[in-house]
């Protein structure tokens, strides 16, 4: 459907496969599937969920957010549902919110979800191939619950943004500052499709991601050698490999699955965490580090002791 090749895509991104939804599939339904899997794995009943935090850049509707539709899908009582727009760092931002809610005592059990349907909003022509080959659809979820064991759980989260670089990865239209929000000219010029300055994003990612991991480690008196598993946002395998080298980590200390799913934005980290658990790579007592950077620019890291 465009002038590209499997070899070209693999060489530049590491991606060999990606999943795109069938027509009629909603983000809320995908989020519900992932949530049920997470609840089952955590041995938590849906009725025990006190709040939902849902990260996505591709909501089912302009408004309301997808979180309320997830709440309806799961048949939950009228618990709060907060949608976050932090793009590729969405799960990390959501983790920080959920952690703060639990630490403050406001909620005990928080359902955290990252979900994206991006395939329906891509330019599937040769002109749009630099973006279209990268993105997949998917959903992942985690259950956070308060505990008296201070040696386990989320140790700390570290978040940053730099809006001066917002336009190097963005989607301009439709936009409320426009009068009207979208025009025939916008559609003709493709302003409703995401655009990226790939080299600039790569440069920032390989700098900021190791920096923020170091920030998290320093805050907890740890070093990179203490990390049992680094789970980076799955944007580009070359980025993950460069971050690994700059942190001095071995191959067995880093988990990547972008080869199978592409970039599922807010869903990449929870999907990767789920697969790492399935493969026995996450064990009690392990130190897990999550890190990501994306549109905004937003980036962050978190440390979790299993």
Residues 162-177, mean pLDDT to the nearest whole number: 96
pLDDT score, position 253: 98
pLDDT of 149 over the 90 cut: no
Residues that are catalytic: 88, 233, 263
- Assign 17 a pLDDT band (cuts: 50, 70, 90): very high
Question: Judging by beta carbons within 10 Å of its beta carbon (0-12, 13-18, 19+), is residue 299 exposed, middle or buried?
Answer: buried
Q: What is the pLDDT of residues 192-234, one digit of tens each?
A: 999 999 999 999 999 999 999 999 999 999 999 999 999 999 9
Asked if residue 148 has pLDDT above 90, the reply is no
With both helix axes pointing from N to C terminus, report the angle between 268-278 and 27-42 in degrees, rounded to the nearest 10.
40
Mean pLDDT of 233-259: 98
Give, in degrees to the nearest 5, the angle at Cα 34 between 33 and 36: 65
Residue 150 confidence (pLDDT) = 78
pLDDT tens digit sequence for 95-144: 999 999 999 999 999 999 999 999 999 999 999 999 999 999 999 999 99
HEC letters along the chain: CCCCCHHHHHHHHCCCCCCCCCCCCCHHHHHHHHHHHHHHHHCCCHHHCCEEEEECCCCCCCCCCHHHHHHHHCCCCCCCEEEECCHHHHHHHHHHHHHHHHHHCCCCEEEEEEEECCHHHCCCCHHHHHHHCCECCEEEEEEEECCCCCCCEEEEEEEEECHHHHHHEECCCCCCCCCCCCCHHHHHHCCCCCEECHHHHHHHHHHHHHHHHHHHHHHCCCCHHHCCEEEECCCCHHHHHHHHHHHCCCHHHECCCHHHHCECHHHHHHHHHHHHHHCCCCCCCCEEEEEEEECCCEEEEEEEEC
Q: What is the pLDDT of residue 36?
A: 98
Whole-number average pLDDT of the chain: 97
Inform me whether the pLDDT recorded for 267 exceeds 90: yes
At residue 194, the pLDDT reads: 96
């Amino acid at each position: 459907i465009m002038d590209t090749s499997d070899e070209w895509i693999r060489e530049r991104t590491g991606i060999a496969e990606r999943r795109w939804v069938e027509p009629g599939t909603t983000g809320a339904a995908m989020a519900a599937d992932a949530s049920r899997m997470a609840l089952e794995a955590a041995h938590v009943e849906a009725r025990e969920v006190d709040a939902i935090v849902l990260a996505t850049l591709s909501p089912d509707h302009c408004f309301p957010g997808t979180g309320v539709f997830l709440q309806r899908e799961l048949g939950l009582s009228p618990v709060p549902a907060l949608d976050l727009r932090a793009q590729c760092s969405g799960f990390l931002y959501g983790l920080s919110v959920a952690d703060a809610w639990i630490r403050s005592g406001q909620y005990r059990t928080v359902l955290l979800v990252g979900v994206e349907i991006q395939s329906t909003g891509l330019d599937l022509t040769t002109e749009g191939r630099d973006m279209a080959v990268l993105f997949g659809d998917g959903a992942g979820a985690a259950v956070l619950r308060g505990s008296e064991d201070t040696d386990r759980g989320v140790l700390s989260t570290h978040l940053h943004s730099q809006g001066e670089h917002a336009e190097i990865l963005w989607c301009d239209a439709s936009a409320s500052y426009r009068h009207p929000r979208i025009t025939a000219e916008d559609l003709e010029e493709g302003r409703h499709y995401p655009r990226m300055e790939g080299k600039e994003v790569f440069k920032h990612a390989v700098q900021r991601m190791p920096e923020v991991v170091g920030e998290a480690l320093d805050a907890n008196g740890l070093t990179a050698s203490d990390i049992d598993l680094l789970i980076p946002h799955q944007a580009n395998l070359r980025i993950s490999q460069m971050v690994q080298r700059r942190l001095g980590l071995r191959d067995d200390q880093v988990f990547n699955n972008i080869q199978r799913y592409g970039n599922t934005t807010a869903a990449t980290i929870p999907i990767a965490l789920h697969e790492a658990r399935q493969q026995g790579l996450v064990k009690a007592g392990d130190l897990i580090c999550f890190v990501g950077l994306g549109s905004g620019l937003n980036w962050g890291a978190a440390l979790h002791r299993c």
